[in-house]
Amino acid sequence: MNTRVARPTHAKGEKLAQRLSHILAQLHQGEVVEKHWLARDFQVNVRTIERDLGERLYGIAERTAEGRWQLTRAARATMPVRHLSTYARLVGTEHLFPDNSLRYLLEQLETSPPAGHSLRVQPMPSEDLNGQGPQFSQLQRAIDQQHECRFTYKAKPRHVQPYRLIHNNGVWYLAAVEGRQLKSFSVALIHSLQPEEARHFIPDPQHHDYINRKDDVWFTSDTTEVLLRVDAEVAHFFVRRAILPEQQHRQDADGSLLVTAHVSHLNQLLPVVRYWLPHVRIVQPLAWHQALVHGLE
């Protein structure tokens, strides 16, 4: 009696699904694919790829005039997957995970159920700009089109040249030049905004370079070099990431750190030192150490 061996359809189905998902990923990244390339990559014959593109992805993929394949216009109306990486760079989360590849990101988004997800990212507390969307868009356009702006800030009229919108520690700031000086303005405190479309300005490249170098919104041409002694008990927190602007450190034999940083204002430093007391002390400038002690009395 002859017995028939069942075909491994499950394994074939998995290969098909993986092949189609990879082809779709390439198409959604805005790529134009070629059937011979795909056949070589997936080690199948060209006829199989033609069936994938022309039948299995019918209505999603279409042939170009050159004989290659791209997303149909209807499918292109959805967001290309490559924009996920662009968005991650925009919001500063590009290096949030140990693996920053698009493949890894898609795997996390496809994991279900959300309640049982193995990852949880604690959100950073941020100010609520609800209702200020139109003003925020006006500022963006003024920056892009290089229009000067007038507004009221802390009950004072201001006339500025806007350079950049910056999100820092949960707060949005406008970097702008007022009276030839680069300053930062909290967006939430800007009122009665009036972009002056008739008044254009030419941005100073040095201001853009300065903004790009800064990791805070304390804009000043003068900074003070500070020297801190950090106890070994908390040294790890200063080593794993920079807590202060332009921070550098040297570890001594007892595990403590000698930390240097360049600070724009005393009030930029004191909250950090108070948070880490008694494990952090100001070595230099001595006057700043005395100001800290006086404030604690």
- Domain membership flag for residue 107: yes
Q: Are residues 192 and 235 in the same domain?
A: no
Q: Are residues 256 and 284 in the same domain?
A: yes
Q: 66 CB contacts (<8 Å, ≥6 apart)?
A: none
Q: What are phi and psi of 34, to 5 degrees?
A: -125, 135
Helix (H) or strand (E) segment spanning residue 136:
helix 133-145
Q: Are residues 64 and 88 in the same domain?
A: no
94-136 residue pLDDT tens: 888 888 776 777 677 666 555 567 777 887 788 888 888 899 9
- Domain membership flag for residue 17: yes
Measured between alpha carbons, how far is 115 from 101 in angstroms, rounded to an integer?
24
User: Could you list the residue range(s) of the whole structural domain that residue 52 is in?
Assistant: 10-76
- Domain membership flag for residue 53: yes
Q: Are residues 290 and 231 in the same domain?
A: yes
- Domain membership flag for residue 143: yes
Q: What pLDDT is stored for residue 186 in this prediction?
A: 95
Q: Are residues 175 and 205 in the same domain?
A: yes
- The shares of helix, strand and coil residues in the chain, as percent rounded to the nearest 5, are 40, 25, 35
CA angle 180/144/188 to nearest 5° reads: 70
Q: What pLDDT is stored for residue 104 in this prediction?
A: 76
Measured between alpha carbons, how far is 107 from 223 in angstroms, rounded to an integer?
45
Q: Are residues 162 and 197 in the same domain?
A: yes
- Domain membership flag for residue 22: yes
Write out 39-52 in H/E/C secondary structure: HHHHCCCHHHHHHH
Q: Are residues 90 and 46 in the same domain?
A: no
Token reading at 18? 């993986």
User: What is the separation, in whole angstroms, between the first and last Cα of the chain?
Assistant: 98
Q: Are residues 101 and 65 in the same domain?
A: no
Q: What pLDDT is stored for residue 78 in this prediction?
A: 61
| Count of structural domains within the chain | 4
Q: What pLDDT is stored for residue 82 in this prediction?
A: 65
Q: For tokens 């969307």, what's the residue?
A: 133
Measured between alpha carbons, how far is 29 from 277 in angstroms, rounded to an integer?
49
Low-confidence ranges of the chain (pLDDT < 70): 1-13, 76-82, 102, 106, 109-116
Q: What pLDDT is stored for residue 9 in this prediction?
A: 52
8-39 residue pLDDT tens: 555 666 778 888 888 888 887 777 899 999 99
Task: Write down the pTM of the prediction.
Answer: 0.63
- Domain membership flag for residue 270: yes
Q: What pLDDT is stored for residue 5 in this prediction?
A: 46
Q: What pLDDT is stored for residue 127 in this prediction?
A: 86
> Which CATH number does the domain housing residue 37 bear?
1.10.10.10
Q: What pLDDT is stored for residue 74 in this prediction?
A: 75
In the 8-state DSSP scheme, what is residue 58? B
Q: What pLDDT is stored for residue 112 in this prediction?
A: 57
> Which CATH number does the domain housing residue 246 bear?
3.30.70
- Domain membership flag for residue 203: yes
- Domain membership flag for residue 5: no
Closest CA to 189 of 132, 149, 125: 132
Q: What pLDDT is stored for residue 38 in this prediction?
A: 92
Q: Are residues 198 and 231 in the same domain?
A: no
Residues 283 and 292 sit within 8 Å (Cβ to Cβ): no
